[in-house]
Amino acid sequence: MGSHLGDLAQLILLALIRLGREAYGVAIADELARRAGRDATLGAVYKTLSRLEQKGYVRTRMGPPTPERGGRGKRYFELTGSGRRSLAASLEAIQRLSTGVEVLRPKRS
C-alpha cells in the first residue's frame, strides 16, 4: 500500500476530480467548504497540494496571465494516475473499516 493520505489530502484530491481543469487554490478551498463543510485556509490547501505534488499525486500547470491578477496566471492542479490510485486505496481502506460499523450521529430533536 502506498503513502498514507490524511483526511484533508483525501478531500483535496476528491475536489480536484470534481473541479477538473478548473482546480486552483481558491476554487479548491470553496469546494471543500461547500461540499465537505470543511473551512480550510488557503495556506493549508496550498501546503497540502505541495506535499501531494512532491509525492507525485498531483501536477500543476499555469493558466494564461489575467489583468485582474496583475498579469499573472492561475496555478491549476490535476490528479496524476499515481494520485488516483492512492486515493482509491485510501477510500477502499475506509470502506473496509467502516463496513458493519454503526456510525454514531447526533440525535435530531
CATH of residue 84's domain is 1.10.10.10
CB-based contacts of 27, cutoff 8 Å, min separation 6: 19
Q: Give the count of domains, the chain.
A: 1
- 92 in any annotated domain: yes
pLDDT band for position 87 (50/70/90)?
very high
Question: What's the CA gap between 76 and 59, in Å, rounded?
Answer: 8
Distances (CA, A) of 19 to 23, 31, 104: 5, 8, 31
In angstroms, the CA 89 to CA 4 distance is 9
- Decide if 52 is inside a domain: yes
Range of the domain at 83: 7-97
Assess if residue 56 is contained within a domain. Answer: yes
pLDDT at 101: 78
Q: Average pLDDT for residues 52-65, to the nearest whole number? A: 94
Q: What is the mean pLDDT of the chain?
A: 90
Q: What is the dihedral of CA 83, 59, 18, 25, to 10 degrees?
A: 130
- Phi first, then psi, for residue 27 (nearest 5°) are -65, -40
* CA 51/CA 37 separation, integer angstroms: 22
* Domain annotation covers residue 57: yes
Which contiguous run of DSSP H or E holds residue 96?
helix 81-98
- Interval 41-65 mean pLDDT: 95
Q: What is the pTM assigned to this prediction? A: 0.85
- Confidence tier at 1 by pLDDT (50, 70, 90): very low
What is the band of 104 on the pLDDT scale with cuts at 50, 70, 90? low
The pLDDT value given to residue 73:
85
